[in-house]
Amino acid sequence: MTKFIIITGGVLSGLGKGVVTSSLGKLLKARGFSVTSIKIDPYLNCDAGTMNPFEHGEVFVLKDGTEVDLDLGNYERFLDTDLIGKDNITTGKVYRTVIEKERAGDYLGKTVQIIPHITDEINRRIWEVAEETEVDIVLIELGGTVGDIESMPFLEAVRQLHMDVGEEENNALFIHTTLVPVLDVVGEQKTKPTQHSVKALREIGIEPDVVVGRSKNKLEESTKKKISLFCDVPEKAVISSPNAKSIYRVPLILQKEGLTECVMEGLNLSEVLEQKEDLSVEKVHRMDEWKGFLERFENPTSKIDIALVGKYCDLEDAYVSHEQALNHCRAKTKTKINIKYLESEDLEGKDCSEKHLGDVDGLLIPGGFGDRGVEGKIDALNYARKNDLPTLAICLGFQLSVVEFARNVLGYDEAHSYEFDEKTPDPVIHLLPMQRGIDQMGGTMRLGAEEIEIKEGTKVHEIYGSTEINERHRHRYEVNLDYKDELESHGMVFSAQSPNGKRMEMLELEDHPFFIGCQFHPEFQSRPMKPAPLFLEFVNSMLEQDDGESG
């Protein structure tokens, strides 16, 4: 029987439920359990693909092409697994399915209502994941905050789920994450918000088994006792989750607080372990590899500065996968990596790039949409190419590298992407053939993991050590093959392409220490123990350059 752990949030959003969920998943995997995660997002969008990064942060792309909330990126990184679209449930998906069934006559003669039709569809989706993955434990993070109108159907659904799997059989457990603030005037940890949040849960019919208190500092014993008393949970089930130096320390904090033991006891997981014939002693209670990663991460021996020139820098969550990919490289190389976030609009104009990029060791140009700030990215790429600044250009960055080269090396002054200038005489970047005639925005880009062939003898081949890789995409435009031969004749090497040779996937410059562009998103598949190869070699190129200069 699959066990379910439901993580809810109270008081306010942004408490870090996703990190708690990911950390718990990591701890349970270390104990030898098979685990998967489901993220419930109560917004009406069918997926996160059409959301503004300023409003919602990064859009993470799964291997099957589903565009999802950034929390699923944390799940993949912590659990070292690949999730699929079914692991993300949104109000939009649920309601669309129910309405389509109603139109098809599936509910003929019935009045379609939130209960039972919407709640049944939510639970059908949860059970679908549980049955298809056949894991020991399904972690379910319910986005939003208890008390939100849009969360009510999902809370009712998981209440029913808890009832259906059998309360007495210990097959489901509720973890409630809340804020424990400190008023500066009083200097005391306040539990009243937590009490009210748990009260709201109880009114819905949900009794939390564990309360995770998010706070600036560790919860005091008196605070734990008060939460235990007023929220009717054992004191050992009040878990302190103070601010950490990095999200990668959170699993060890929660482990020390006893969260794993609470879950093991609450779900009778010891019995599940006893039934595992293939479980070796070495797999149980092991977090050694994670501790080694954290030791390297927290004790760097060198330092580099990287400029990330983006369009959404006011919200760093818009580039969270890039940041985490660099963090993975930080641990691998024991290098402190300072990211200098630069709005691309600030780099437009004479000498702006030199002013902002003159004191950094490398340049990272991520993806983005819309023409705002595009010229600033092009100016940054021009500076990096001319000044041998190690550069990694991703998605839009890859495309603009071609635009910059066409303008300033080939001499096509008005070269551009058709996305931004439909009247350009030299559209070196044009619309993918599969995108022609599409009038729907959601879920219609080239999305998900696809095979890529790498040319032997290239720098990219040396980095990957293979002629075949599989990476995730999210774009509508591509390199115009009419310009390919001329670009290559002047020193731009298209070092990887689609299997049919019609789509350019990677580029590199011959006379440059490190200038690589890729149409795909390598950051989505980077893991703590396995940094994305392109990011790792990007960092190594800067370290080698520093060694050369110091030598």
Q: What is the domain range of residue 15? A: 3-291
pLDDT of residue 434: 83
Q: What is the CATH number of the domain that holds 72?
A: 3.40.50.300
* Domains in the chain, number: 2
- Pick the closest to residue 214 from 13, 29, 69, 5 (CA basis): 13
pLDDT of residue 278: 62
Q: Are residues 273 and 310 in the same domain?
A: no
Taking the model in full, what pTM does it have? 0.94
Q: Estimate to the nearest angstrom the gap between the alpha carbon of 412 and the chain centroid.
A: 38
> Looking at the annotation, which residues are catalytic?
395, 521, 523
- Pick the closest to residue 374 from 402, 351, 355 (CA basis): 402
pLDDT of residue 51: 87
pLDDT of residue 63: 97
Q: Are residues 128 and 215 in the same domain?
A: yes
Q: Estimate to the nearest angstrom the gap between the alpha carbon of 188 and the chain centroid.
A: 35
Q: How far apart, in whole angstroms, are the C-alpha atoms of residue 330 and residue 303? A: 9
pLDDT of residue 271: 82
Q: Are residues 341 and 403 in the same domain?
A: yes
Q: How far apart, in whole angstroms, are the C-alpha atoms of residue 120 and residue 123? A: 5
Given 236, 263, 291, the domain boundary residue is: 291
Residues of the chain with pLDDT under 50: 281, 551
pLDDT of residue 186: 74
Q: Are residues 366 and 234 in the same domain?
A: no
Q: Are residues 169 and 312 in the same domain?
A: no
| SS3 of 379-416 | HHHHHHHHCCCCEEEECHHHHHHHHHHHHHCCCCCCCE
In this structure, which long-range contacts are made by residues 58-63, counting pairs with CB atoms below 8 Å and at least 24 apart in sequence? Answer: 58/317, 58/318, 58/319, 58/320, 58/321, 59/474, 60/321, 60/524, 61/447, 61/448, 61/472, 61/473, 61/474, 61/521, 61/524, 62/87, 62/88, 62/448, 62/472, 63/448, 63/449, 63/472
Q: What is the CATH number of the domain that holds 416?
A: 3.40.50.880
